[in-house]
Structure 1
Amino acid sequence: MRVSPTAFFCLLRAVSVSMSISVSLARRPFRAHSATSAFLSRVQPLGGVLSSRGRQGPARSSVRGVFGSAPDKKETAVASSSQRDVLSLYTMNSATEIPMSPAVSKGISVKAAPAGCSHLTWQGDLLLLPMMAESGDPSEIRFPWGDMDQKSGGLLMDLLEREKKNSAPPPAPEDSTKSKTFCLPQGNVVSVRTERGSSDPKDRVTVGIFGASDTQKEGGKGYSEVFAGLGKSLAEAAKKEKAETVAVSLPVPKGISEKETSQIVQTFAENFLLALCEDRRFLFGERADAPRCPLKSLEIWLPEGGGSGDTISAPASRAAAVADGVQVARELVNAPPNVCNPQSLAAYAESLAKENPDVMNVKIMDENQIEEMKMGAYMGVAQGSVYPPRLIHLTYKPPSASGGEKKVALVGKGLTFDSGGYNIKAGGGSMIELMKFDMGGAAAVLGTAKALTQLKPEGVEVHIIIAACENMISQTAMRPGDILKAANGKTIEVINTDAEGRLTLADALWYAQEQKPEAIVDIATLTGACMVALGKKYGGLMTPDENMATDLLNAAGTRNELFWRLPMATGEYKELMKSEAANLRNVGTKPYGGAITAAIFLQEFVSDKVPWAHLDIAGPVWDDKTNSPSGFGVRTLVEWVTQK
């Protein structure tokens, strides 16, 4: 049959229109217009499934594996584990759970070395003998292990000589009973197999030598950074040597308090455990199946008079809990946005409460409940995504709660992906490919919750609140110029859709305040302006409350996390947030002070009677050196909460 050109182009046009309608329906967000709901409920477009409310769910498959619902028994019988894993790579969009690695502390015992044991008699795989420069000069490192060198037949001294990197003059001749001074690269671990007076292979031990700058507070790195580095270096040595049992003699400075000694032990053990973490959840093949470090125990000595076994065991247990919390934060941030979405993030919170019913309970609120609370700012951001929002409320109560506990709230920004909306993140430097980390605040508070379930601090009740959603582009997404009404009644003119985090936090802070806490801390990857001001290592701290500032900075300093206080500058910059059309605008009228004006905006949703602080972690949430999440904020929040 012959078709005329005119008829052919008319047919082509009709097919094109039909395809565009199908694509539009396939991308329909969860808030379908009521006029089309009945039609949409009967349509199953390519790539997704529509519910009776017109919400498109992610594409589903009969085989979902670890990223979706558990396969049924028939599937399990037919498909091997590896086959299901392969197939699940094609169905990540159906994820209802976030796969998580086993806790890093699981199966690893961190404890004090047995009484009477020394570096000369210890039996194990890897022994670390640190050397510290007591003078404050990083190039001068004392070597107090002459007896061990004799046992090795001089191998340790020879090794150290070969490892010299600096051009310092050779040490002066000394009596054999005295220590000698060497120059070593800071933070370097070297090792040697050495006989300990026996031909039995079991009596062989790897001895690691660690050189670092002094542990004195003046002139050196200070306690925290030195012992954090020591923990990381020992962990790397343990992985390299495939050690099952490891021991270290911590060179704790003389004359410090037992509290400072405990902090040193905790810092060392935390960083040791975290350096063992490997996130292989989304790898396949040889990299995924490579052998892991088989470590089972870490034993710690303190110098004579440095403290008892309790000085080691208590901070070691605390270190394990905090390390597990930091690991949770890292893995939640590192989960891709097609796996970590508002529903799967809420599912993780539910699993945490289910595993710890004695101290934790959870309430998850869907879009209908969020709308009932009139959270227009939050819903304005969420309405553009196919994934409906979830308001997560975890509550920690100590096992022996009496009702008189101090009540605090932690609010985490939970944007599981941020496209920028219609003010889309575009061009080099936009970091859109890393916007899975825009829920770094939510990850930090969930990591804190994980640590609290193990520490079980008394005397404090903690409310953990996350307004989880995505910021996407669609026909129902908010637009520049829209006016939103927050739960506290204030209206907000949307000037820039990429300033969305503060909109979700506005309603989350209001909800937190409704729990009647005595203090609120919010933590968020909120502004690029904070990153510009403070770089990638420091988080910004903003609060009108001096006591909050002092307590949080002290907590951060104790746990070796860097925060810098920025001024609220309400008197100088509040005018920049005024709108002619609404109560507020979501960005300032001037292109400066963006981190400060964001905090001023948030302050509008917290009562002056409630102490409140805002932590902006846009910079340190991601470690550029390792190209991975840092878990920043967990240690500070755990320290702050447990000191209440």
Structure 2
Amino acid sequence: MAFAKLHCVQSLQQAQENQQTDALIVIGHFAAVEDEKLAKAINVAQQSDHRVGKETLLVTQAEVPGKRLIVSPTGPLNRDFDDVRQVFDAAARAAKIAQDAGARHPVLMLNAVDINDPRYQQAHLAAYLGFCQALYQPLEAREAHGEEAIEPTTDVTLVGALDADWAMAIEAGKRVARDLAGTEPERMAPPRFAEYCRQAFAHTPVKVSVIDDFQQLQHEYPLAAAVGRASISVERHRPCVIRLEYKGSKPERTVMFAGKGIVYDTGGADLKVGGHMAGMSRDKGGAAAVAGFLKTVAEVQPSHLNVIAEIGAVRNSIGSDAFVADEIITGHSGKRVRIGNTDAEGRLVMADLLSHLREEAAASDLPSDLYTVATLTGHAALSKGPYTALVPNGYARRQQLAQQLFDSGESYGDPAEISWSRREDFDFVKGHTLCDDLLSSNNGPSATTPRGHQFPMAFLVGVSGLDAHGIDSDKPINYVHVDIAGSGIEGGDWQHGKPTAAPVTCLAGHYLR
């Protein structure tokens, strides 16, 4: 797995001593330039091109590596709404220009970015991650053309204090997440999703196990099996559950994830029409992010954590055996679920995963944090825009877990916003008759349903048995539902956009630093 290897130095002079460096990228606000020689070079460039310092541009400069100077402005960084993503974005813009110009080992340097400001303490990391995000190419493209041909930048030297191993561990996880989220539905059908995980975690401390026997899935994961029912006749589309498990040497806490891995979502019997099916190979972004975070865990190898993930890799196909609205299906927890809409399949896949994890958490002596991570609702994208939506249960709210994740996201440039669950959400998913305990969803679009991204959290609490572990119980358990429908893809272009790997960086910043 190739991406630009990071080298960190303390000064520009040290970077220039490396004969391989072949471009200098300067990122920041150019109202003032801190380095005297650089200030002179930029001033000379501005005399012939007034855009220098205002737009991302390459200019020829004899005294910098490769005679290539790329000036990439962030704009002002002191306003109410400024944040470290401006550094990330400026690095991404510059990376593409540098690579297209032929640079293979550029130098990254910040200018006038106050790393003592809490907003910019992770600015050096943001610059490296933005650089890598821009140069990432999809898995299918790398397999077709070769990594060296389309990802030729091999190294980057960063001027500043940053732990290179830590930064590359995050990027390794983000790369796994982007590969799994962005790859087309045949290349990343459930069995091949599982095989990618086996390869990604080979020779690491993360144990990978796969359940792909359909009878076992029906018994242990009946709601997920129902979603995958119409895909069984096509062997390469058959569903599976992938378990990833990391054990720390001195664990103080267990972090558990249920990941939505819908490798393709036709909508099922409630078929997506009017062109809305395009891009639904990215409906596995939650599972991809979970696997990506485990990859970072595998690289960092924290002693203080156990991390367990269960991923439901399922294709929601249409066919004669497709599950339909009005069916009542008993989940792993014993709760009877009336299907409201087959296009609300992701919460069904995660329900049994979460129920299994809830049992483990309840039986453990260690405190546990449980998460569901999913590209779940259009409502999250509509109400939160490009931000991850966090919906905590009462205990996670009391323990300030959502606030801690929010703070991590702000610091690391992987931002989230908090939504609270309310009694209306739990009322919304109550069963309507004595036949059923819960309703999976209404039969309208989430984007036009009031509280459309909050009520699925209430459903997941009820269907998994977590309602027995609230603040009123003897064994309360932290739980946060994470909806990345708005944050998972650049620009919200689900068919063509590049996956962002949200919230891998946020989770890494919270749990691994």
Q: TM-score, normalised by structure 2?
A: 0.85
Opposite residue 185 of structure 1, the aligned amino acid is: K
Which structure would you say has the larger Rg?
1
Structural mapping, 1:91-240, within 5 Å: 102-105=1-4, 108-113=5-10, 117=14, 123=19, 124-130=21-27, 132-133=29-30, 141-148=31-38, 156-165=42-51, 184-186=53-55, 188-194=56-62, 205-216=67-78, 218-219=79-80, 221-222=82-83, 224-240=84-100
The separation in 1 between residues aligned to 2:238 and 2:453, in whole angstroms, is 28
CA distance in structure 1 between the partners assigned to 2:142 and 2:208 by the alignment: 32
Deviation per residue, 1:228-257 (Å, 9 max, x gap): 133213322320232233223323645818
Offset at 1:422?
Answer: 0.7
Match of 1:620 among 487, 491, 494: 487
* Contact in 1 for aligned 2:262/2:313 (Cα 8 Å): yes
Please say if 1:247 is aligned against 2:107.
Answer: yes
Q: Is 2:189 the partner of 1:341?
A: yes
- 488-497 vs 473-482, greater mean Cα deviation: 473-482
Contact 2:27 2:91 in 1 (8 A): no
Instruction: Identify the match of residue 540 of structure 1 among 369, 389, 402.
Output: 389
Cα shift at 1:507: 0.5
Where do residues 285-324 of structure 1 align in structure 2 (5 Å cutoff)?
Answer: 291-292=149-150, 294-302=152-160, 311-312=161-162, 314=163, 316-324=164-172
Sort the Cα spacing of 1:343 and 1:255 in 2 relative to 1 into closer, same or farther, 3 A: closer
Instruction: Give 2:451's aligned residue.
Output: 593
The reply on whether 1:530 has 2:420 as its aligned counterpart is: no
Structure-2 separation of matches of 1:294 and 1:384: 42
Shift of 1:157: 2.9
Partners in 2 of 1:571 and 1:284 — Cα distance?
48
Query: 1-side partners of 2:147 and 2:389: how far apart?
Result: 40
Q: How does 1:411-450 map to 2 (within 5 A)?
A: 411-428=258-275, 430=276, 432-450=277-295
Contact 1:406/1:459 (8 A) holds in 2:
yes
The SS at the match of 2:103 is: coil
Aligned residue in 2 for 1:278: 137
Residues 1:266 and 2:116 are matched in the alignment: no
Alignment partner for residue 381 of structure 1, among 227, 241, 245?
Answer: 227
Give secondary structure in 1 for the equivalent of 2:510: helix
Q: CA deviation at 1:297?
A: 3.4
Q: How far apart are the structure 2 equivalents of 1:479 and 1:112? A: 59
Structure 1 residue matching 2:8: 3-state secondary structure: strand
Q: In structure 2, what residue type is equivalent to 1:498?
A: D
Matched to 1:209, the amino acid is V
- Residue 381 of structure 1 contacts residue 503 of structure 1 at CA under 8 Å; is this kept in 2? yes
Asked whether the 8 Å contact 1:457–1:642 carries over to 2, the reply is yes
Aligned 8 A contact 1:412 1:442 in 2? yes
Segments of 5+ residues of structure 1 without an aligned counterpart are 1-101, 134-140, 166-182, 197-202, 303-310
Q: List per-residue Cα deviations over 1:185-244 (Å, max 9, x = no partner).
A: 25x132214268xxxxxx86222223332344x45623x123213321332232023223
Amino acid at match of 2:191: Q
Structure 1 residues 438-482: Cα deviation after superposition (integer angstroms, max 9, x where no partner) = 111000001111111111122000001112211112222111211
2:8/2:159 contact within 8 Å kept: no
Who is 2:364 aligned against? none
Distance 1:143 1:486, change over 3 A: same
Of 409, 412, 420 in structure 1, the residue corresponding to residue 256 of structure 2 is 409
Give the structure, 1 or 2, with the largest relative contact order (CA under 8 Å, sep 6 or more): 2
Correspondence for 2:477 among 603, 607, 610? 610
Deviations 1:577-634 (CA, angstroms, capped at 9, x unpaired): 3321311111148843221221110111223221100011112222236622222221
Segment drifting more, 496-505 vs 205-214 = 205-214
Contact 1:541 1:563 in 2 (8 A): yes
Structure 2: stretches of 5+ with no match in the other structure: 362-366, 471-475
Mapped to 2, the partners of 1:501 and 1:209 lie a distance apart of: 44
2:341 corresponds to: 496
Indicate how the Cα distance of structure 1 residues 515 and 268 shifts in structure 2: closer, same or farther if over 3 A, else same: same
| Matched residue SS, 1:231 | helix
Is 1:479 paired with 2:479?
no
Selected match of 1:570 from 423, 435, 448: 423
Q: Structure 1: how far apart are the matches of 2:507 and 2:54? A: 34
- The superposition leaves residues 108-134 of structure 1 with CA deviations (integer Å, 9 ceiling, x where unpaired) of 242215796477x7753212344525x
Whether the 8 Å contact between 2:415 and 2:506 is mirrored in structure 1 is: no
Aligned to 1:511: 356
Q: 1:255 to 1:417 in 2, by over 3 A?
A: closer
Q: CA RMSD in A?
A: 2.8
Counterpart CA distance in 1 for 2:485 and 2:369 is: 23
- Structure 2: distance between partners of 1:321 and 1:290: 21
The residue type equivalent to 2:441 in the other structure is V
Q: Cα deviations across residues 6-29 of structure 1 (Å, max 9, x unaligned)?
A: xxxxxxxxxxxxxxxxxxxxxxxx
Q: Following the alignment from structure 2 to structure 1, what is the Cα–Cα distance between the partners of residues 243 and 28?
A: 48
Task: Label 1:206 to 1:115 Cα distance change in 2 as closer, same or farther (>3 A).
Answer: closer
Q: For residues 391 and 248 of structure 1, what CA distance do their matches in structure 2 show?
A: 41
Q: Deviations over 1:249-296 (max 9, x none)?
A: 323645818x977622211112222222122624898x7799445434
Instruction: Check whether the contact 2:412–2:509 (CA below 8 A) recurs between aligned residues.
Output: yes
